[in-house]
Amino acid sequence: MSTTESGLPIRPVYGPPDLAEWPAAERLGEPGGYPYTRGVYPTMYTGRPWTMRQYAGFGTAAESNARYHQLVEAGTGGLSVAFDLPTQMGYDSDSPVAAGEVGKVGVAIDSIEDMRVLFDGIPLGEVSTSMTINAPAALLLLLYQLIGVEQGVPGHQLTGTVQNDVLKEYIARGTYIYPPAASLRLTSDIFAYCHREIPRWNTISISGYHMAEAGATPVQEVAFTLANAREYVRTALSAGLDVNEFGPRLSFFFVSRTTLLEEVAKFRAARRIWARVMREEFGATNPKAQMLRFHTQTAGVQLTAQQPEVNLVRVAVQALAAVLGGTQSLHTNSYDEAIALPTEKAARLALRTQQVLAYETDVTRTVDPFAGSYAVESLTDELEAAAVGLMTRVEDLGGAVAAIERGFQKDEIEQSAYDVAKQIDGGARTVVGVNRYVTNNEEPYEPLRVDPAIEAAQADRLARLRAERDADAVDRALDELRTAATGSDNVLDPMRTALAARATVGEVCDALREVWGTYTPATGV
């Protein structure tokens, strides 16, 4: 008998005996009703399709702005900002540690001036924006709010998502700054600030995607993501927030792989688990606080540099799995991303893939097309049971943070990644173009390249900014931020003042480093 990506048995034929003996109301419910197995909205895509949100950002703010305009003109329904590594780590472009990384894996944002350029001509009152940023999430969110005000768009009209999921950074990605306790303090401050100032904003996107890219199986992806979500809810509750008020602003972020049946089951199981956790464990009575709403990105880790055009097929299958699983928004990777940043043509083709699914197929004409499938319903039940079991192991270790400090999630994911690598190397797992159906005469491909001169240009911009701004006003604002960080006041209020005075991302993060320190893994790695 073969197995799924999670190691669950997958049978050649399924039938009624394979289904769990649960009442239908507990297992499925109706679309838009508890436990949301069949989707979080009654009509799902029969009313309108998911949000087509393309992830983009590279080089300077001006270059990324041009790409955003191209995507909007091509029909994308939402923007998703990729930041470069120095920005993700809270360093300015002229910091010594930023050398060689400025603008490489995303756009460089050092101050409010860069943010103005990034969204020049983009109507923030009409566009939903997602920002993939974690440790410095509060800063980028505040910069977005400040330029929204400059456009005449008040905070209560802004819509979008900030990833703000720092726990998964300790597990799988590494772009953390502060120790976990300080990071969770910052997260709860963002929850409270947005409830007051930007009420339509999704304050966190709890991510399994990056764990999956590091090697997590579907079961591990769901279990560790929801275990982290539990920790965020507990943090918010301990800060005095109401689960029925902040719960609806929680969102999630998952991968979608080429194993279509298991991925559909994964999404359905995740909704069901989270609905029960929120209602039974945390007492959420607001239906919107029980819903697991999520963004999906197709699996970058499954793209290959060999025969890159084949990635078009992979991405189409992965996108179909996300749609059949009931995603709320979707990013489709470009076929050339295993080689370099996507070209304009490749990014447009990725968006066209979504548009074909939405407007040329019939998958949007009915809610939860796989409902009642013996195979998918059985896989949903089995994946749920396995994920709940793994979540229980995390709880037995003291919760997500305690398990992170022991390296539990990281060790589990690394073992899974190693197992997959062995299967590929040994030929037990087929990767078309890599270990089977190899072509030796591939056509040359010219990738998009980032001009290394942007590093010097960003440094010049920073020098001018520091020379022109009111240095005393910046110093006063940073002192107020340090005071708030030392006490219990919400740090976003003095942070906004500092950023409006043209303090840089690095300066604000350094002020918090002085108070909270930085995180070093116990292993020293």
Give dist(CA 347, CA 341) in Å, integer.
10
Structure token pair of residue 291 = 């819903």
3-state secondary structure of 439: coil
Contacts of 432 (CB under 8 A, 6+ apart): 304, 307, 310
Structure token pair of residue 129 = 């924006």
| Residue 135 near residue 166, CB atoms below 8 Å | yes
Q: What residues make up the domain containing 339?
A: 40-426
Reported as a pLDDT band with limits 50, 70 and 90, residue 23 is: low
Residue 31 lies in a domain: no
Structure token pair of residue 222 = 């769901």
- DSSP state, residue 413: H
Residues 465 and 381 in one domain: no
Residue 203 lies in a domain: yes
Residue 102 has pLDDT above 70, yes or no: yes
Give dist(CA 157, CA 470) in Å, integer.
30
Average pLDDT over residues 2-14: 91
Which residues make beta-bridge pairs with 107? 59, 83
Distances (CA, A) of 265 to 242, 252, 365, 380: 31, 16, 20, 4
Predicted local distance difference test score (pLDDT) of residue 25: 58
Q: Of all residues in the chain, what percent carry a pLDDT higher than 70?
A: 98
Predicted local distance difference test score (pLDDT) of residue 525: 39
Residues 415 and 490 in one domain: no
Residue 364 lies in a domain: yes
Residues 202 and 248 in one domain: yes
Residue 147 has pLDDT above 60, yes or no: yes
Instruction: State pLDDT tens for residues 241-268.
Output: 999 999 999 999 999 999 999 999 999 9
Residues 221 and 360 in one domain: yes
Predicted local distance difference test score (pLDDT) of residue 341: 81
3-state secondary structure of 371: coil
The amino acid that residue 505 corresponds to is V
Predicted local distance difference test score (pLDDT) of residue 1: 67
Predicted local distance difference test score (pLDDT) of residue 444: 75
Instruction: State pLDDT tens for residues 315-360.
Output: 999 999 999 999 999 999 999 999 988 888 998 999 999 999 999 9
Closest CA to 267 of 44, 25, 12, 22: 44
Residue 440 lies in a domain: no
Structure token pair of residue 515 = 């108070």
Q: Indicate if the alpha-carbon torsion angle 351, 355, 357, 363 is positive or negative.
A: positive
Residue 521: left (phi > 0), alpha (psi -120 to 50), or beta?
Answer: beta
Closest CA to 477 of 451, 495, 456: 495
Residues 391 and 502 in one domain: no
Structure-model confidence comparison of residues 83 and 523, the more confident one: 83
Residues 407 and 487 in one domain: no
Alpha helices in 156-310 (DSSP H): 167-168, 180-197, 209-213, 218-238, 243-246, 260-276, 287-290
Give dist(CA 422, CA 419) in Å, integer.
5
Residues 421 and 461 in one domain: no
Average pLDDT over residues 195-212: 95
Predicted local distance difference test score (pLDDT) of residue 523: 59
Residues 361 and 479 in one domain: no
Give dist(CA 422, CA 442) in Å, integer.
26
Residue 296 lies in a domain: yes
> Which stretch of 50-64, 117-131, 439-453 has the lowest confidence by average pLDDT?
439-453
Residues 239 and 142 in one domain: yes
Residues 343 and 472 in one domain: no
Contacts of 293 (CB under 8 A, 6+ apart): 40, 251, 252, 328
Residues 237 and 296 in one domain: yes
* Per-position b or e across 27-48, b if 16+ CB within 10 A of its CB: bbbebbbbbbbbbbbeebbeee
Residue 27 lies in a domain: no
Kindly report the CATH number assigned to the domain that includes residue 312. 3.20.20.240
Give dist(CA 187, CA 250) in Å, integer.
12
Structure token pair of residue 137 = 């999430």
Residue 184 has pLDDT above 90, yes or no: yes
SS (H, E, C) 292-310: CCEEEEECHHHCCCCCHHH
Residues 371 and 315 in one domain: yes
Domain count, the chain: 2
Residue 11 lies in a domain: no
Residue 18 lies in a domain: no
Which residue, of 426, 443, 477, is where some domain finishes?
Answer: 426
